[in-house]
Amino acid sequence: MRSAVVPDVAAIERQVRALITTGRFEDAEALLRPALASGSGPVALWKLLAAALRPQGRIAETRAIQEMLVAHAPGDFPTRFDLSETLLLLGDLERGWREYHYRYSLAHTAVIGRRVQAPRWDGRPVPGRTLLIHDEQGFGDTFQFMRMVQWAKARSGARVILEVNAQTLSLARRSQDTLGFDAIVARGTLPPPFDLHCELMSLPMALGLTLADLPGAIPYLSADPRRVAKWRERLAALPRPLVALVWAGRPTHFNDANRSLTLAQLAPLARPGVTFLSIQKGPAAAQAGDPPAGMSLVPLGDEIRDFEDTAAILSIAELLVSVDSSPVHLAGALGRPAWVMLPFVPDWRWLLARTDTPWYPGMRLFRQPLRGDWGSVMTAITAELARLVA
C-alpha cells in the first residue's frame, strides 16, 4: 500500500513567502491549495493562504480563513489583528473595533504601545472624573479620529484632556470649542493628573461606533486665518482652478508600494487652464521639479513648514487629488473637496466598492478596478476633471 506523501511544509512556506513578497499572489495560492485540499493542514499555511487571497480582492474568503484561525487559536494576536482589518474593510465595525484592540499585542508594535497606569475608559459615564484621550498612530489617523473627542466628552461627562503630537497641536487647539476638550497637551509632555485614559483609535470601540454615526459635524478643524491670508497672496496670480496634488505617501509605511505613485503616472491629468499645486512632502517631492509635459505645476513642498500651511492651501484650492495620505484626512476634517486614488484592495477605512465614504461628505473615491491598474484611475479622474473645469 502506497503511503501518503507528506508535504514539506517548511519548503512550501519559504516558496510562498517569496511569491507573496514579489506580488505573485495567484502563484502563491496555487502552491498552497494542494497542501490544504483536505480542509486541514498546518496553521502557517492557512495564514499564508489568507495573505495570498486578500490582495486578490477575495475578502470574504480571507475572512472565513481568519475566523477559522481565531476560533482555533484565540491567543494568536497577529491573526486577530488581521481579522480586525478585514472586518472593518467589510463594514462590520462592531466586531472589527473589538479585534482592533489587539493592535498593540504584536511583536513589532508592542514597543510603541502606551503604558498608562490608569484604567482604559470603556464608554460608561464617569462624571467628575478626568479622562485623558491620546493619539497613537499616524497624522492621518489623528485627523480622522479627532472628531470623536466631542462624542467621548458628551458620553463620559468627564473633564477631557486631549494629548496629540506636536505637528497637529495647533490645529486641534484652535478647534477646542468644536472638539469639546477641556485641556490639550503635546505628546511627550507631562499631562495633568487623570483618572482614566483612552487611545484616540480606541474611542470607536468605547463608543460603539457604527457607520450610521458618521460623519458627525463637518468641518471640525479650521485653517489659521493668518496662514490663509499669506497663501492667498502667494497664489493670487495663478490661473484657476487650483488643484493640490499628493502622489506618494510616507515611504516607511508598510503598504506604501501599494498606495503610492510617481508624478509621471499623473501625466494624463494635465490640461490647459488647470494649475496644479504640489503639496507633496518627503523624498517624492523632488519629482515636482520635472513635471509631466503640459502640466502646469507649482512646487510648494519646500515652502510648506507644517500642517498649518497645508490646511491653508487646501482652504484656498478648489480640489485636492491625492493618494491615501494624511492631507486627505486633513482636507476631510476641514470640509474641503478631495478625490482619493485608491489601490484595488485599500486600507480598511475606505471600505469596498463605493465611490463615497461615510467619514467625509463630498469626498470621492477613485478605485483601481484591477490590482495595479492606476491607468483606469487616471482615466476616470481626467474625465471628472474635464467636467469640473467646464
85 in the same domain as 16:
yes
Task: Determine the structural domain holding residue 202 and report its residue range.
Answer: 130-213
Nearest to 133 by CA among 174, 170, 105, 172: 172
Q: What is the pLDDT of residue 108?
A: 53
Check residue 2 and give its pLDDT: 45
Do 243 and 164 reside in the same domain of the chain?
no
Of 185, 213, 241, which marks where a domain is finished? 213
Q: For 126-150, what is each residue's pLDDT tens digit?
A: 999 999 999 988 999 999 999 999 9
Comparison of pLDDT for 40 and 295, the residue scoring more: 295
Given this model, what pLDDT does residue 275 score? 98
Contacts of 253 (CB under 8 A, 6+ apart): 138, 259
Confidence band (pLDDT; 50, 70, 90) for 38? confident
Looking at the fold, whether 208 and 233 belong to one and the same domain comes out as no
Q: What CATH number has the domain bearing residue 29? A: 1.25.40.10
In the chain, the number of structural domains is 3
Together in a domain, 45 and 94: yes
Residues 258 and 306 in one domain: yes
Is the domain of 242 the same as that of 353? yes
Domain membership of residue 118 (yes or no) is no
Q: Could you report the per-residue pLDDT of 272-327, keeping only the tens digit for each? A: 999 999 999 999 999 999 999 999 999 999 999 999 999 999 999 999 999 999 99
Pair 308, 334: CB distance under 8 Å: no
Look at residue 287 and tell me if it is in a domain. Answer: yes
User: For the sheet containing 296-299, what is the strand order?
Assistant: 296-299, 275-278, 242-246, 319-323, 338-342, 364-367
In CATH, what number is assigned to the domain containing residue 170? 3.40.50
pLDDT band at 85 (very low <50, low <70, confident <90, very high): very high
Q: Given pLDDT bands bounded at 50, 70 and 90, which one contains residue 98?
A: very high
Q: Is there a domain that residue 305 lies in? A: yes
Cα angle: 252, vertex 350, 301; to 5 degrees? 45
Are residues 383 and 291 part of one domain? Answer: yes
Angle between helices 59-72 and 43-53 (to 10 degrees): 160
Answer whether residue 325 is part of any domain.
Answer: yes
Which of the residue ranges 5-14, 50-59, 349-358 would you say has the lowest mean pLDDT?
A: 5-14
110 or 191: whose pLDDT is higher?
191
CATH number, position 238: 3.40.50.2000
Q: Do residues 309 and 286 lie in contact, with contact meaning Cβ atoms separated by under 8 Å?
A: no
pLDDT of residue 113: 55
Mean pLDDT, residues 359-373 taken together: 96
Judgement on whether residues 250 and 382 belong to the same structural domain of the protein: yes
Single pTM value for the model? 0.94
Q: How far is CA 266 from CA 143, 226, 292, 384, in A?
A: 26, 32, 8, 14
274 and 382 part of one domain: yes
Which residue, of 192, 213, 234, is where some domain finishes?
213
For position 3, what pLDDT does the model report? 44
155 and 82 within one domain: no
Q: What mean pLDDT value characterizes the chain?
A: 94
Helices (H), the chain: 9-21, 25-32, 43-53, 59-72, 77-89, 93-100, 139-145, 148-156, 166-174, 176-179, 203-207, 225-235, 256-259, 307-316, 326-334, 374-389
The pLDDT, as a whole number, for residue 109 is 59
Domain boundary among 157, 184, 213: 213
Residues 38 and 88 both lie in one domain: yes
Q: Is residue 3 included in any domain, yes or no? A: no
- Tell me the mean pLDDT in the region 149-153: 98
Asked if residue 64 belongs to a domain, the reply is: yes
User: pLDDT tens across 169-199, in order?
Assistant: 999 999 999 999 999 999 999 999 999 999 9
Residue 225 has pLDDT above 90, yes or no: yes
pLDDT tier for residue 1 given thresholds of 50, 70 and 90:
very low
Average pLDDT over residues 28-36: 96
Predicted confidence (pLDDT) at residue 243 exceeds the cutoff of 90: yes
Q: Which residues contact 226 (CB under 8 A, 6 or more apart)?
A: none
Strand partners, 262: none
